[in-house]
A and B are shown apart, each in its own frame.
Chain A
Amino acid sequence: MLVEAGLAVQFVFGLTILVRAIQKGSISRYPLFYSYLIYYLAAGAVDECIYVWAPAHYPTFFWIKFLTLVMAEFALLLEIGDHLFAQYPALRQLARMMTVGIALVFCLAYILPPLLERRPSEVAIFDLVKRSALTKGVIFLGLGVTARHFRIGVGRSIMGIAAGLICFLGINMANFALAQSLGRIQYGAVFSAVGIFSHTLMLLVWAVSLWRIDPALATGSPNPPLSGGPLMSELGKYNRELDRLLRR
């Protein structure tokens, strides 16, 4: 009953976000985010139909949907980084590289190694979810620290998208870790309830923050370009001068 009610609330929130986006014409501003949301709602609906009419196929479909969403969240973080630094092209590029760099390093050193071990698939999936959630958290913290370091104002909409996603990831990571540790018998019911809660909270945060969409900012730097040559030669000059001064 709780699960059904939670799913119904999620659908209401999700559809509200989509209807508002269509009304405001803002779908093209956050294409990856709305693709993620549409996939989430559509796959959720199909998921429920399979659960009712073909329950034998439900677990397979559920995990395919779930793992696709886990991967899509990396793309969502790229979009969040792009919007955080939309007005600063060099910083935007830096944020993209930072996102890709952290994701690659964590994938190779942290996410993939346990997946290559011979273990039951359930344990592997739990590990994948936990570790990828932590990786996304680190990426988000990197983006947040960079935005703060450069004193960049963050719009309400993109802040809401990021906050909703990270709230979900944080709760989900703890939930999967506890489920893996305590087992299905002890934690099964709580696992399901917390899972529904984390998704509902994410959609609620998104619905509230996207009720009013921030006005679109012009891309490109709002500051006049500094004197000097192209960016890379200027950065190189900074590094060379610093080395020369400090390496005495």
Chain B
Amino acid sequence: MIAAIVYSILGLLLLVGVAVFIRSSRQRPEELEERRELDGSVWDTEGLSVAERIFDPRDYCWLRDHAGFPRLAESLRRSRQRMALEWLGAVRRSFDDLLKASESPDTDAAGSPVNWNLLRQALRFHFVVGYAYFVVRFFGPYHSLVPSCRWMRPETSGRFGHERLGPAHSSRLF
């Protein structure tokens, strides 16, 4: 009987899914042009250098440990967190635009069928971006994303002390 109830609920959920599908397909896609223009520059040299700065904790550590402004450092961290989330969103939209705008070849550069490779690349990208979004959202932009090294441990807890920060960073901030 439990199986019957479960399948009935799943059947009901399918009907709800259809209703949502019909409702959402009536809304015409409204592209946010301004946002899209920003997305286009995510992968150029300037965009990549901005991304590297967003995820680089040295300014934060210098401000907190060297200059002695912990509250200002926290404010910087929060602001970087928002920027990192925006950047990840822009990266995802940029990837989606690439898929939407592309003609699909039958074979890739190595001559092998592209179908499964396309699915693999797309899933991998969305998994990594989703995972990064989760980590940045809940643990901040300065946590390591790779579990094998420093997982769940703030990189800011002493690892970026005075000895790791050269004078170049202080001049970069002010």
Contact = CB atoms under 8 A, between A and B. Distances in A.
Interface stretch (B17-25, B68-76, B156-164): B17-25
A169 B52 CA distance: 49
B4 A181 contact: yes
A90 B102 contact: yes
B18 A167 contact: yes
A170 B21 contact: no
A182 interface: yes
Interface secondary structure of A, over-half rule: helix
A18 to B, nearest CB: 24
A92 B105 CA distance: 12
Contact of B11 (A171, A231, A243): A171
B51 interface: yes
A93 B43 CA distance: 25
Interface of B: 1, 3-4, 6-8, 10-15, 17-18, 20-22, 24-25, 28-29, 31, 43, 48, 51-52, 55, 91, 94-105, 108-109, 114-119, 121-122, 124-125, 128-129, 132, 144-146
Interface of A: 88-94, 96-98, 101, 130, 133-134, 137, 140-141, 144, 147-154, 159, 162-163, 166-167, 169-174, 176-178, 180-182, 220-221, 223-226, 228, 230-239, 241-243, 245-248
22 contacts: A89-B103, A90-B103, A94-B118, A94-B122, A97-B118, A137-B17, A144-B20, A144-B21, A150-B100, A152-B29, A173-B11, A177-B8, A178-B4, A223-B97, A224-B101, A232-B105, A234-B102, A238-B95, A238-B125, A239-B121, A242-B125, A242-B129
